[in-house]
Chain A
């Protein structure tokens, strides 16, 4: 754990990425069919994958 407080940008950069991915997926699947149906679901699912990956990485680095 670092001593200095994290900047707002550091705190919110990944959450902002997740919001962008979610909204692109949600709206993309609404605007187009075919490829976008799968892509919309994939973008939304990607947010969960990214969060899980971050948790796994933090768990490893904290246990050392």
Chain B
């Protein structure tokens, strides 16, 4: 490689890293506990709980919804989701004047209509997650972190290119212990960086895709649901809605053999102003992560459409497990955490190398 070429790549590596290091460090440090969210919340929220009437009849979904909304009069339902290991239905609602993203979340015992304890969403973990996702700055914060993720990709790619001239006389694994601290740390930085390159690119790349979740879902709504949205001129009012329970049953009949995941109510981010969007996922390891909605006309309760997700929503769906590392059991999470710590070492050693070199420069 010519020395001018090396200088150019070195410039890319230095600046893409310097701009993003502080944010990437924040992401790595907050990401570490987030890998174990499930385990930590299980520990923080541990509470023995049994449904009020384990053998009794379950309330239907309309009754559950009424029970939840009666505790927060005036709120509008946004989402409903279903716990898999206990008879609990989670209702997410929003006050009409609430700022975007501020919701009321209520787990409801489906055997009694009473409140059930939270098993997820502990305030400490929510705080860390929010910091990791958008730094409490909403969509601009998310997109900014996405840009930092792109900087990371540039830093990794330029780092791999520079690995060749740096290692042209050093076999893989060499750390020159006898040399100065700077040389020793350069060797550690190179060895750790080249060893974790695939994982960092996958986690970084899927992280960037996840920062685009809001525009991706908005685009899907504007295109795939456009025809359905055009069917009515005014949003469906709360008192003109057909039975939710019947709507979910109708959706299940349209997509047999799939697992019910959640319902998006009319007017929410995942539906039109006039439909219940009932989302299902498959039951194979891969299709668990992929959802398909059946849209039910909220006035008539009739099936309006089954709308398979376009490729870009599928890409978003698959980016989530690949970013979170929560799809392969505790063993995978532990490896995820180790790689995260190694990434912190790479970031800090890179910063150190830059500082030392600058100090030496005339």
Residues in A lying within 8 Å of B, measured CB to CB:
1-2, 5-6, 8, 10-12, 14-15, 18-19, 22-23, 26, 29-33, 36-38, 40-42, 44-45, 47-48, 51, 53-59, 62
Chain B, 165-190, CB within 8 A of any chain A CB: 167-178
Which of B199, B289, B331 is in CB contact (< 8 Å) with A26?
B199
Given A19-B197, A23-B198, A30 and B164 contact (CB-CB distance below 8 Å): no
Establish whether residues A54 and B199, one from each chain, have CB atoms under 8 Å apart when the complex forms: no
CA distance A57 to B173 in the complex (A): 8
Establish whether residues B191 and A8, one from each chain, have CB atoms under 8 Å apart when the complex forms: no
Establish whether residues B191 and A41, one from each chain, have CB atoms under 8 Å apart when the complex forms: no
Min CB gap A53→B, angstroms? 8
The reply on B356 being an interface residue by CB < 8 A is no
Min CB gap A32→B, angstroms? 5
Min CB gap B91→A, angstroms? 30
Taking chain B's interface residues, is the majority helix, strand, or loop, or is none over half, making it mixed? helix
Establish whether residues B322 and A30, one from each chain, have CB atoms under 8 Å apart when the complex forms: yes
Which of A1, A11, A26, A42 is in CB contact (< 8 Å) with B202?
A26
Establish whether residues A31 and B286, one from each chain, have CB atoms under 8 Å apart when the complex forms: yes
- 6 shortest A-B CB distances, which residue pairs? A54-B173, A41-B331, A29-B328, A22-B198, A51-B195, A41-B332
Nearest residue in B to A32 (C-beta to C-beta)?
A: B285
Residues of B within 8 A of A40 (CB): 328, 332
Min CB gap A31→B, angstroms? 5
Given A6-B167, A29-B328, A44 and B339 contact (CB-CB distance below 8 Å): yes
Which of B163, B321, B334 is in CB contact (< 8 Å) with A11?
B163
Chain B, 223-261, CB within 8 A of any chain A CB: none
The reply on B310 being an interface residue by CB < 8 A is no
Establish whether residues A37 and B331, one from each chain, have CB atoms under 8 Å apart when the complex forms: yes
CA distance A49 to B46 in the complex (A): 36
Min CB gap A17→B, angstroms? 10
Establish whether residues B332 and A2, one from each chain, have CB atoms under 8 Å apart when the complex forms: no
Establish whether residues B197 and A15, one from each chain, have CB atoms under 8 Å apart when the complex forms: yes
CA distance A23 to B203 in the complex (A): 11
Given A40-B332, A54-B173, A30 and B197 contact (CB-CB distance below 8 Å): no
Supply 29 A–B pairs (Cβ within 8 Å), ascending by A. Answer: A5-B169, A6-B167, A11-B163, A11-B167, A14-B172, A14-B173, A15-B197, A18-B197, A18-B198, A22-B198, A22-B199, A29-B328, A30-B289, A30-B322, A30-B327, A32-B285, A37-B331, A37-B332, A41-B329, A41-B335, A42-B331, A44-B339, A48-B338, A54-B173, A55-B175, A55-B191, A58-B171, A62-B176, A62-B177
